[in-house]
């Protein structure tokens, strides 16, 4: 009986801590996304018309020289590992039995993706754009998710 009480208490505590942590994280994500709204990031490599002040650069070499208005390019990345609270694992176990969408984990992966993208963009704050952005997800432990976002940051000649 003692272990049942322990489990119930743990579930109640982690429900509250989990909710607070999630809300706090979302607040931080929204604020940072708003701050960085002006840095374009794209999943395509074609940026000709998309990036302001950059009429037609070709990423390919021309006569062993990079196109003139492209100053430099670098790989930028951001990764995050998020853990699941105990209450959510209980809810997941129940949901897994009945089937259906696992909302708690949907919110978790949403947070992880957006946090990874944010970290990638924070890695290159002075970049003019991030191109070819990709996302990868992997499972770290039993109840952790890792998301890595990476792309090519380009810096233009001003």
Partner 1 sequence: MAYKPTKFDDSVNAPSDHPLKEFASLLFYLSLIIAVFYIIIGFTIDLTVSHITPEQERKLLGLSGNKPNIIKKLSDPRTEKLQALLDSIPKESLPKGYGFSIHIMNEKEPNAFAVLGGKIFITTGLLDEIKTENGLVFIIGHELGHFANRDHLRSLGRGLVIAFTTMLLFGDESSITGFVSGLTFGIESQYSKTQEQMADYWGIKILEAKYGHVGGANEFFELNHKRTKSK
Please report, as ranges, the residues that interact with partner 1 according to CB under 8 A. 1, 3-4, 7, 15, 19, 26, 29-30, 33, 37-38, 40-42, 49-52, 87-91, 93-95, 97-98, 101, 103-104, 106-107, 109-111, 113-114
Give least dist CB 63 to partner 1, A.
29
Q: 145: buried, middle or exposed (CB in 10 Å: 19+, 13-18, 0-12)?
A: buried
Give least dist CB 47 to partner 1, A.
8
Nearest to partner 1 of 63, 145 (CB atom): 145
Phi/psi zone of residue 48: left (φ > 0), alpha (ψ -120 to 50 degrees), beta? alpha
Do 103 and 124 touch, CB atoms closer than 8 A? no
Give least dist CB 96 to partner 1, A.
8
Nearest to partner 1 of 27, 72 (CB atom): 27
Q: What are phi and psi of 37, to 5 degrees?
A: -60, -25
> Which H/E stretch holds residue 49?
none
């Amino acid at each position: 009986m003692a272990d049942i009480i322990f489990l119930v208490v743990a579930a109640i505590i982690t429900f509250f801590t989990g909710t607070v942590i999630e809300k706090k994280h979302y607040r931080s994500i929204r604020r940072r996304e708003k701050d960085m709204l002006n840095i374009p990031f794209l999943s395509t490599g074609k940026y000709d018309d998309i990036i302001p002040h950059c009429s037609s650069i070709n990423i390919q070499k021309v006569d062993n020289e990079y196109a003139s208005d492209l100053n430099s390019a670098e790989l930028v990345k951001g990764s995050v590992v998020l853990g699941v609270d105990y209450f959510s694992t209980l809810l997941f176990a129940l949901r897994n039995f009945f089937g259906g969408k696992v909302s708690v984990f949907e919110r978790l992966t949403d947070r992880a993706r957006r946090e990874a993208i944010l970290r990638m963009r924070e890695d290159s704050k002075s970049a003019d754009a991030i191109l070819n952005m990709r996302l990868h997800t992997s499972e770290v432990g039993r109840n952790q998710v890792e998301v890595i976002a990476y792309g090519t940051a380009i810096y233009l000649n001003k």
